[in-house]
Structure 1
Amino acid sequence: MAPRGETRERVLRTAAELFQRQGYHGTGLNQVLARSGAPKGSLYFHFPEGKEQLASESVALSGRTVSEALAEVVLAAPDGRAGLAAIGDHFARNLLESDFGKGCPVATVALETAAGSETIRAACDTAYGQWLDGLRVALLGWGVPGERAEPLAALVLSALQGALMLARVQRDVSVIHQVTRQLAGLL
């Protein structure tokens, strides 16, 4: 029998992947349980507030995971142009590896639920906030003046979110690379 923390983590990671692929409404709790191999009673034991809690915690987990991955690629980049290209490469690689099945783990849920669930909206806002903070710090490190770093971080994130959506729909990641090249020109 798996320790309680391990079961909770497995359910959370399984839910995060399913929400990223299928969205909030397309993912059922029975599917999460079946894919995670967790016993039925464990869901409400670990997530007593149900699907909404599971989704908000899954978004938070996905947000942290992406934030850590982006920090890693940004820190390895010698300059802003290379850093933005590396961010684009990260998102493009994830799309290609999932055969365009996995878009942004936050946007997929946010588009469906932000207007109807304050709990999930807040989790999405926190995840995007982490990404914006990381981008702002990276931009400052690349020599972008302080007063430009915050609005430019918002532009970068917004443009990448749009590029991810287009790439997923078009089944072609070239738009991500086009966008990161254009954004690099703003540095």
Structure 2
Amino acid sequence: MNMDTKSLLIDTSTILFQQKGYKSVGLNEILKACNVTKGALYHHFPNGKEELLITCLHSLNEVIITDIEAIFSRHLSTKEATISMIDTLIHQFEKDGTITGYTFSSIVSEMATMSEPVRNACGALYENIQNIYCKKLQADGFSNESATSIALFMTASIEGAMMLCLTQKSADPLKTIASLLPNLLNSLQ
């Protein structure tokens, strides 16, 4: 595997942060997992762990948005696209017992006082996701205002359902959202 040190640090840290949360992962654990020196880490991330976190969030953002855009471009309506996306999350949960896709919550949920850069990185992801929903809803004929509100509602519901799946150790919350969304979208149109 010929991956440069920076990419290795980002990829490995992202997985560790998603599994354990930002606070629980120590720098030594990251160094050990990547088999790199502290000097190498600080060479790539002079401001240390938080700078590494922000880079991980940006790279996750790209992956997640690429995934969601691909799903949304394959389906005609918001309804079909959203059901397909939630199905993907359900399959991931049932296969792995966890959901890493489409969320930052597992990484930053325990950070009561997020720094501005971290907050901005998280905000950007949710904004990007809402924009994808919003564009699709407008294509479905919703007004700009309705589409914006419904996109927020969808983001919050799906995000919340992912957290509930993790705490309940069951995919049921996502399945419930998937079964309610179509009727909800119909009733709002």
Q: TM-score, normalised by structure 2?
A: 0.88
> What is the alpha-carbon distance in structure 1 between the residues aligned to residue 43 and residue 95 of structure 2?
34
Q: Deviations over 1:8-27 (max 9, x none)?
A: 01110111111111111111
Q: Which residue of 1 aligns with 2:98?
A: 100
Q: How does 1:89-128 map to 2 (within 5 A)?
A: 89-100=87-98, 102=100, 105-113=103-111, 115-128=113-126
1:64 shift after superposition: 1.6
Given that 2:78 and 2:133 are in contact with CA atoms closer than 8 Å, whether structure 1 keeps it comes out as no
Amino acid at match of 1:97: K
- Cα RMSD (Å): 2.1
1:104 shift after superposition: 5.5
Given that 1:13 and 1:58 are in contact with CA atoms closer than 8 Å, whether structure 2 keeps it comes out as yes
After superposition, the Cα gap between the structure-2 partners of 1:103 and 1:70, relative to the gap in structure 1 and judged at 3 Å, is: closer
Given that 2:99 and 2:162 are in contact with CA atoms closer than 8 Å, whether structure 1 keeps it comes out as no
Q: Deviations over 1:28-71 (max 9, x none)?
A: 11212222233332110001011111111111111221111111
1:139 shift after superposition: 1.7
Q: How does 1:57-76 map to 2 (within 5 A)?
A: 57-76=55-74
Given that 2:17 and 2:25 are in contact with CA atoms closer than 8 Å, whether structure 1 keeps it comes out as yes
Q: Deviations over 1:114-154 (max 9, x none)?
A: 62322211111111111111111122223322221111110
Which residues of structure 2 form unaligned runs of 5+? none
Q: Pick from 142, 156, 160: which aligns with 1:162?
A: 160
Q: How does 1:1-187 map to 2 (within 5 A)?
A: 6-100=4-98, 102=100, 105-113=103-111, 115-187=113-185
Amino acid at match of 1:171: K
> What is the alpha-carbon distance in structure 1 between the residues aligned to residue 94 and residue 66 of structure 2?
20
> What is the alpha-carbon distance in structure 2 between the residues aligned to residue 135 and residue 114 of structure 1?
28
Q: TM-score, normalised by structure 1?
A: 0.89
> What is the alpha-carbon distance in structure 2 between the residues aligned to residue 113 and residue 97 of structure 1?
28
After superposition, the Cα gap between the structure-2 partners of 1:114 and 1:59, relative to the gap in structure 1 and judged at 3 Å, is: farther
Q: How many residues align?
A: 185
Instruction: Give the % identical residues.
Output: 25
**Which stretch of the first structure deviates more once superposed, 44-53 or 22-31?**
22-31
Amino acid at match of 2:28: N
Amino acid at match of 2:41: L
**Which stretch of the first structure deviates more once superposed, 95-104 or 65-74?**
95-104
